[in-house]
Amino acid sequence: MKLLITGASGQLGTDLVQHFRHRQIEVIALTSADVDFLLPECLHDVIAAVRPDWVINCAAYTQVDKAESEPDLAWRINAEAVGTIARAIHSCGGRMLQVSTDFVFDGSKTTPYVETDQPAPINVYGQTKYEGELLAQQYCDDVIILRSAWIFGASGRNFVKTILRLAGQRDTVAVVNDQQGTPSWTRNIAEAIDGLIAAAEPGIYHFANTGVTSWYGFAALTIETATAMGLLGTSCKVEPVTTLEYPTAARRPAYSALATGKISPLYPGTIPTWEAALEAMLVELKNA
């Protein structure tokens, strides 16, 4: 089996490449330095030349707030490029797995979102990711779409690493306490994707670590655990604030937890809690 992984230098892409190469699977790792996602014909040419069995598309415009002022750029990467990939891999006889997001939902529910819930994005990022899902389904009828949430890992930029940086610089960090979701560790997402490819059943799936928390709760446990491990020299206080007290350019869902019942049978073992995943990620970061 030959895999082509786009966004291979990002936090999820990095762990996916490591995961599949560890399993002795042939991986072509494609980064923004290799191909310009703003030039769709380049993407098509690469896929046609490589002819992979699967394309796992992790590449995305992920700057949620900046997307509000750059909607065209976000759309070209999160939607147009996805359609190009879907057409190219379909014409080559391969399969596609598109990584998407919890931000396709508006946050009006109070129980975890299931795959059949209707998306209703409330920001540009979420809208463009949803349009990417639709284009992938339009041009590649056997596509697998994996939505994940609050992604964190030892590579790349993410909430956990930002909190660690701020905690090392400040005595107090203010974090929103009225937005709830499900953190997802990149290594566990990679295991879930492995299971999805092995099953090869098209459709939409949700994956996140188990449990629901707020950004405040996520930050507080990050600092507490990192301090206990010696990753932080001094303890930093986390101050809970409301969304209204911490305005951002883009609206966020108040609740975007993802249900994992559909994907659970395909995951190797029991899906870890977000607390256990966070601890494991911090251990990895400490030992890096």
61 given a catalytic annotation: no
Is the separation of the CB atoms in 30 and 4 below 8 Å? yes
Give residue for tokens 């065209």: 72
Q: SS3 for 189?
A: helix
Cβ burial of 172 (10 Å; 0-12, 13-18, 19+) is exposed
Catalytically annotated residue among 61, 113, 125, 216: 125
User: Which ranges in 93-182 belong to alpha helices (H)?
Assistant: 124-139, 159-167
76 DSSP assignment? I
Rg for the chain (alpha carbons), in Å?
A: 18
Nearest-5° Cα angle at 260, 258 to 266: 145
Element (H, E) at 97: strand 95-101
- Per DSSP, the residues of 62-75 read --TTGGGT-HHHHH
Q: SS3 for 145?
A: strand
Residue 169 CA to its chain's centroid (Å): 27
- Distance between CA atoms of 14 and 30, rounded to whole angstroms? 10
Cβ burial of 268 (10 Å; 0-12, 13-18, 19+) is exposed
Catalytic residues: 125
